[in-house]
Amino acid sequence: MLAALFPTVKFGLIGAGVVGRMRAQVLGSRLVAVADTDRAAAERIGVPAVTEYRRLLDDPRVDAIIVATPAPLHRDMVLHALGAGKHVLCEKPLATTVEACREIVSQAGDRVLAVGFNHRYFPCMQHLKRAVASGSLGDIQHVRALAGHRGVSEFRAEWMYRGDLSGGGVMMDIGLHMTDLIRWVAGEITEVFGVASGNVWKVPGSEDHATATMVTAGGVPVSYHATWGEWKGYRLVLEIYGSRGLTRAYYAPMANLDAPREGPRRWRLYPLLNVHERLFGWEATAKHAFAEEIGDFERAVRGEGWGALATATDGLRAVEIAAAVRGARACTSA
Ligand SMILES: NC(=O)c1ccc[n+]([C@@H]2O[C@H](COP(=O)([O-])OP(=O)(O)OC[C@H]3O[C@@H](n4cnc5c(N)ncnc54)[C@H](O)[C@@H]3O)[C@@H](O)[C@H]2O)c1
């Protein structure tokens, strides 16, 4: 009876690397098969494994495909999966260029096509979203955002940081999550004034530092800073300043600060999640977010709404905004 009301969505996974393995653990028995050109990696997942991903697309048991491969492969894989009639959840970025993202968006049809902006499911970000939606901050006056980590030394493969492969640098990496979070919490971004530089890691075509002033459709100014020079390590800070006070989301560790203009400050410290992360690493937090995200994806497939799930248009907008920040602006005297 319950199974008829809530039919299980069956998944195929393309890419059995670091993210793919975590996604597989979260899916459990909902995962039908996996594809990876590295056969040993695919077989380690513990479900039927193939090396040619198109075989998953021909499998009638598979309702939805998760694309967790290197970013330069996303475009073709997503388009092929949609062409085969599958729903798709694609890891970020949706694709490495604005043009490819637009092409994908135009092909989605009636399929659920979502982008893995899993940071939306971090409890500190959910709290921020609720604080804005509840009106407790009053009128939103400005937003401050920082996203960073230690940069190129953190990466295991060239496609992860070479701009000619992944479409850019820090803004296509951790900065893309932040761009999405800003839009998700504060609304669409309609103006961008930015500077992107590459004088830390000096990888051609790959900004390692980007600062921007953005403006939302509601006229709210946003200060954005993405960096591969955050020597402290992985860090996200998103602050919403309203007429009645401030709410800050922070990771890592996961925390919120609510600071009303009048009244006492309140911290939220997520002890269970943070102890989990301390014991089992950042993957524990990522898997928590993936589990929540998959729940929303399944509901979207069943036609029950999208929840906090990021759409293909969200994926496109994040890449468009990164491109706009990178766009050079001359300011010379006449
Ligand atoms: N949401 C997040 O927080 C987050 C974090 C890290 C990475 N990512 C994204 O996840 C994706 C995967 O990253 P990762 O760190 O797991 O990379 P990874 O290198 O660990 O894994 C990629 C896997 O794809 C496989 N692969 C390569 N070509 C293939 C092909 N043609 N067919 C099938 N499999 C193929 C590789 O063999 C490898 O096992 C990327 O898009 C990345 O940007 C997202």
Q: Which helix (H) or strand (E) holds 3?
A: helix 2-5
Kindly tell me if the per-residue pLDDT of 4 is higher than 80: no
Summarize the confidence of residues 119-129 as an average pLDDT.
Answer: 98
CB of residue 285 inside a 6 A radius of ligand 1: no
Strand segments (E) across 70-207 = 87-91, 113-116, 140-148, 189-197
Nearest C-alpha to atom 41 of ligand 1 is from which residue?
71
DSSP code of 316?
H
If you take atom 33 of ligand 1, which residue's CA is the nearest one?
A: 36
Q: Is 38 in the pocket of ligand 1 (CB under 6 A)?
A: yes
Kind of pairing, strands 64-67 and 87-91?
Answer: parallel
Any atom of ligand 1 within 6 Å of the Cβ of 118: yes
The conformational region for residue 123 under phi > 0 = left, psi -120 to 50 = alpha, else beta, is alpha
pTM of the model as a whole: 0.96
Please identify, by atom number, the ligand 1 atom nearest to the C-alpha of residue 42.
39
If you average pLDDT over every residue of the chain, what do you get?
95
| Confidence at residue 327, expressed as pLDDT on a 0 to 100 scale | 82
Pocket test for ligand 1, best of 91, 160, 173 (most atoms within 8 A of CB): 91
3 or 234: whose pLDDT is higher?
A: 234
Closest C-alpha residue for ligand 1 atom 31: 37
Q: Is 281 left (phi over 0), alpha (psi -120 to 50) or beta?
A: left
CA distance linking residue 318 with residue 216, whole number of Å: 13
- Tell me, in angstroms, the distance from the centre of ligand 1 to residue 69's CA: 3
Position 3 pLDDT exceeds 60: no
- Provide mean pLDDT across the span 1-14: 77
CATH of 2-117, one of 3.40.50.720, 3.30.70.250, 1.10.10.10, 3.40.50.300: 3.40.50.720
**Would you say residue 150 has pLDDT above 60?**
yes
pLDDT tens digit sequence for 73-89: 999 999 999 999 999 99
Torsion of CA 42, 44, 46, 50, to 10 degrees: 20
Q: Which residue has the tokens 């919490």?
A: 185
pLDDT for 334 equals 59
Give 13-68 pLDDT, tens digit per residue.
Answer: 999 999 999 999 999 999 999 999 999 999 999 999 999 999 999 999 999 999 99
Q: What average pLDDT does range 237-244 have in this prediction? A: 98
Residue-wise pLDDT for 268-325, tens only, equals: 999 999 999 999 999 999 999 999 999 999 999 999 999 999 999 999 999 999 999 9
- Which pLDDT belongs to residue 177? 98
Question: Residue 331's pLDDT band (boundaries 50, 70, 90)?
Answer: low
The CATH class of 119-326 is alpha beta
State the pLDDT at residue 314.
Answer: 98
Domain limits, the chain: 2-117, 119-326
Whether 2 shows a pLDDT value over 80: the answer reads: no
70, pLDDT greater than 80: yes
Pocket perturbation via mutation, ligand 1, pick of 18, 122, 251, 292 by most ligand atoms within 8 A of CB:
18
Tokens, residue 222: 């946003």
Question: Which tops the pLDDT comparison, 2 or 201?
Answer: 201
